[in-house]
Amino acid sequence: MTDAVVINEVGLRDGLQNQPKWVSTSDKLRLAESLIDAGVRYFEPVSYAHPKAVPQMADAAEFAAVLPWRSDLHYTAMVPNLVGYQRARDSGFHTVALLLSTTDSFNQRNLNMSRDDALTSCVQIIAQAKLDGIRTRAYVAGALACPYDGKVDTGVTVSLANQLFSAGADEVGIADTIGGGHPRQLQQVLRPLIRDVGADKLLVHLHDTRGLALALAWSAAELGIRRFDASIGGLGGCPFAPGATGNVATEDLVYLFENAGLSTGISLEGLRDSAALAASITDTAASGRIFYWADSQQRRGKPVNLDEHLTP
């Protein structure tokens, strides 16, 4: 298993979608460019949800048009349905992300569909994407806990993930959407999937609601998972999942993996600038724990360069 970790930056989509302050297209571009300068190469910058449902994503097509499209940059668009998929395809995306929640309650509030209908929608999108030569990443949302129905049986999550693979999904993301899971539970989901399809076809998406996101990330990494979603400054929260706070902070995940000898290719000092920008454009205290520590050192007259301080 490789020692390289891919961190997929979802701050521009998942991080901003629940922000009360409107973030302009130009500010989104500034943040994207800052993250690129820091070494981030994988992004989920937009969602093609209906603007009435997710107003922050109303400029998805406009933002996609001004993003720097380079061969070393990899963009994924979130699509809630076939219409959203078509808009993403027409905007030039070569990878799309789909959503399937573990319960009827969550699917109804997130997609206005039952779980069975949401699965059918995913299957249809995957089939069309294959015809169009577009890759698909299908997320099992609420994989460990549902915001409405509580803890989710691991067998349900594994079964849904397998059905998405059987439909032809190129990759499946296991999403602890409300940060309600624990490391052993995540491993119980991942072990059979890794056995059946391999770790390289799986991605983990974590929220830090109860402070366990880094523990869950490490538990996944120990099983060989090398693809993770994260959000600059820990921004995030699902508008359809009460109590879902921010994603695991990109900077904390980078610090964790780099200290453990796993390469991310991302500069912590660069991310420090990105987090400051994210805080500025959202009017929030967007910062991971590692930056709070670095700031405390600076206040003590002991400034540190985080890229040179990768051992405890």
238 falls in which pLDDT band (50, 70, 90)? low
Q: Let me know if 238 is a catalytic residue.
A: yes
Average pLDDT over residues 214-229: 98
Residue 283 has φ and ψ, to the nearest 5°, of 60, 40
Q: Which residue has the tokens 């910058």?
A: 45
Cross-strand pairs, 9: 43, 230
Q: Whole-angstrom Cα distance, residue 279 to residue 271? A: 12
Question: Would the pTM count as exceeding 0.85?
Answer: yes
HSE at residue 270, side-chain half, CA atoms within 13 A, is 16
The residue with greater pLDDT, 281 or 244, is 281
pLDDT at 193 over 60: yes
302 belongs to a structural domain: yes
CATH of the domain at 296: 3.20.20.70
Share of the chain above pLDDT 90, in %: 81
Cβ neighbours around 2 below 10 Å, total: 11
The pLDDT assigned to 119 comes to 96
The pLDDT score that the predictor gives to residue 310 is 62
pLDDT at 148 over 90: no
Distance CA 176, CA 154 (A): 12
Cβ–Cβ < 8 Å for 215, 30: no
pLDDT in tens, 87-137: 999 999 999 999 999 998 987 887 889 999 999 999 999 999 999 999 999
Q: What band does 18 get if pLDDT is binned at 50, 70 and 90?
A: confident
What's the confidence (pLDDT) of residue 2?
65
In angstroms, the CA 106 to CA 241 distance is 8
The answer to the question of residue 31 being in a domain is: yes
User: Longest Cα pair distance anywhere in the chain, in angstroms?
Assistant: 59
Q: Is residue 263 part of a domain?
A: yes
Between CA 153 and CA 133 the distance in angstroms is 34
Q: Residue 32: which domain range?
A: 6-308
Rounded (5°) CA angle 107-195-231: 50
256 φ, ψ to 5°? -60, -55
Least Cα distance to 67 among 96, 35, 95, 45 occurs for: 45
- Show the tokens assigned to 60: 């998805």
How far, in Å, CA of 142 to CA of 181, rounded?
Answer: 9
- pLDDT reported for residue 309: 64
pLDDT greater than 80 at residue 248? yes
What is the CA 203 to chain-centroid distance, rounded?
A: 9
Average pLDDT of the residues of the chain: 93
Query: CA 212, 214, 218 angle in degrees (round to 5)?
Result: 120
Please pick, among 129, 238, 294, 306, the residue that the annotation labels catalytic.
238
Q: Is 264 within a domain? A: yes
Does residue 41 contact residue 76 with C-beta atoms inside 8 Å? no
Q: Using CA atoms, how far apart are residues 95 and 273, in angstroms rounded to an integer?
A: 28
| Residue 241 predicted with pLDDT over 70 | no
| Of the candidate ranges 57-71, 84-98, 275-289, the one whose mean pLDDT is the lowest | 275-289
- Please tell me the predicted confidence (pLDDT) of residue 239: 60
The answer to whether 172 and 203 have CB atoms below 8 angstroms apart is: yes
Q: How many percent of the chain have pLDDT more than 70?
A: 95
- Can you tell me the mean pLDDT for 30-49? 98
Q: What single-letter amino acid sits at 171?
A: E
Q: Does residue 126 belong to any structural domain of this protein? A: yes
Q: Establish if 133 belongs to a structural domain.
A: yes
Give backbone dihedrals phi and psi of 234, rounded to 5 degrees, phi first: 70, 20
Question: Can you give the pLDDT at residue 311?
Answer: 55
In a domain, 1, yes or no: no
Closest CA to 9 of 30, 32, 37: 32
Distance of CA 172 to the CA centre of its chain: 12
Pairing of the two strands 145-146 and 150-151: antiparallel
In this predicted structure, what is the pLDDT of residue 53?
Answer: 87
Give the pLDDT confidence score for residue 58 in this predicted structure: 96
Beta bridge partners of 4: 263
- Give 202's DSSP letter: E
Task: Tell me if 208 is assigned to some domain.
Answer: yes
For range 48-66, the mean pLDDT: 95
Q: Over 80: is that where the pLDDT of 77 sits? A: yes
Identity of residue 247: N
Per-residue pLDDT, 236: 85
Tally DSSP H helices, then E strands, for the chain: 11, 10
Name the domain count of the chain: 1
Q: Which CA distances in Å does 212 have to 5, 157, 168, 176, 179? A: 19, 19, 32, 11, 7
